[in-house]
């Protein structure tokens, strides 16, 4: 075939699609480039029709009888499919499981600090594994660990719930909490609104009579290792 316009794309198609001369069945049902049904024709005739338009013949329903093929720009089709996947990937939230550690007698200000970050992780759509680490003879009073976990659950009850109840693994008592349905979306909407408000404020000439917006706290982006820096699991000595 001499061909008109661009040459046929002879690359091996992805996802099992066969195109152009890789379609070897004698006849196919053809759909035109504008989605108009053309009917059943010989594969050679279908190839000629596609080639005349400078397009590709793509087998879209191989299990039909006869197989259904469409005349299209295969390169453009692959580009649009890749773009759709990329957009879907952006929309899909990747759920991670963060780990925050406590002692059976974690002090109040440390507890509040850790709860603050647990809430941050959950509002970002992540689950959180709560771990109470026992030292020495503390292990003989597991109820103190359960009490600590209950205090955390109460502190995040408005946005999260228990996904996995407490269980012991060696000297560690574990529980998993997860965001409640709808919480993450509300948090994202609130962030977008706050960002839009901040942008609008930045675009307006500063008024010295108005208070400046609050500066972000320095520990807002701490990671798990930094949050858990106060707990050394290698230390198995008793507390004084």
Q: What tokens appear for 76 in the block? A: 């453009």
- Residue 202 in this model has a pLDDT that exceeds 80: no
Structure tokens at 238: 């008793």
Specify the higher pLDDT residue, 32 or 7. Answer: 32
Can you give the pLDDT at residue 131? 97
Domain with CATH 3.30.110.10 in the chain: 97-183+216-227
User: Where do you find CATH 3.10.20.80 in the chain?
Assistant: 8-75
Q: Is residue 20's pLDDT more than 60?
A: yes
Q: What is the pLDDT of residue 204?
A: 60
Strand pairing of 97-102 and 68-72?
Answer: unpaired
Q: For residue 1, name the pLDDT band (cuts at 50, 70, 90).
A: very low
Is residue 8 scored above 60 in pLDDT? Answer: no
Q: What is the CATH number of domain 97-183+216-227?
A: 3.30.110.10
Asked whether the predicted pLDDT for residue 238 surpasses 70, the reply is no
Asked if pLDDT for residue 4 goes beyond 60, the answer is no
pLDDT digits (tens, 9 = 90+) for 117-170: 999 999 988 999 999 999 999 999 999 999 999 999 999 999 999 999 999 999
Query: For residue 233, what pLDDT is reported?
Result: 83
For residue 214, pLDDT over 60 is answered with no
Q: Is the pLDDT of residue 229 over 80?
A: yes
Mean pLDDT in the chain?
Answer: 84
Class of 8-75 in CATH:
alpha beta
Select the more confidently predicted residue: 187 or 68. Answer: 68
Q: Model confidence at 90, in pLDDT bands (50, 70, 90)?
A: low
Look at 8-17, 100-109, 110-119 and tell me which has the smallest mean pLDDT.
8-17
Residue 5, pLDDT > 50, answer no
Q: Is 53 left (phi over 0), alpha (psi -120 to 50) or beta?
A: alpha
pLDDT computed for residue 6 by the predictor: 46
CA distances from 59 to 52, 56, 72, 149 (A): 18, 10, 10, 58
């Amino acid at each position: 075939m001499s061909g008109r316009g661009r040459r046929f794309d002879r690359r091996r198609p992805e996802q099992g699609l066969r195109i152009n001369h890789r379609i070897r069945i004698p006849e196919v049902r053809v759909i035109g480039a504008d989605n108009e049904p053309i009917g059943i024709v010989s594969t050679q005739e279908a190839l000629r029709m596609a080639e005349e338009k400078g397009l590709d013949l793509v087998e879209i329903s191989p299990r039909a009888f006869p197989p259904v093929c469409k005349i299209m720009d295969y390169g453009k089709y692959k580009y649009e499919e890749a773009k759709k996947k990329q957009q879907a990937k952006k929309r899909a939230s990747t759920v991670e499981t963060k780990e925050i550690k406590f002692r059976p007698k974690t002090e109040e200000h440390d507890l509040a600090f850790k709860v603050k970050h647990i809430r941050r992780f959950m509002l970002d759509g992540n689950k959180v594994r709560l771990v109470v680490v026992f030292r020495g003879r503390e292990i003989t009073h597991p109820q103190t660990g359960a009490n600590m976990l209950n205090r955390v659950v109460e502190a995040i009850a408005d946005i999260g719930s228990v996904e996995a109840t407490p269980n012991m693994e060696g000297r560690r008592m574990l529980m998993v909490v997860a965001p409640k349905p709808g919480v993450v979306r509300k948090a994202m909407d609130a962030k977008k609104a706050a960002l839009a408000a901040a942008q609008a404020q930045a675009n307006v000439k500063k008024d010295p009579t108005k208070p400046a917006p609050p500066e972000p706290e320095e520990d807002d982006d701490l990671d798990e290792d930094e949050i858990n820096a106060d707990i050394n699991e290698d230390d198995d000595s008793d507390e004084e």
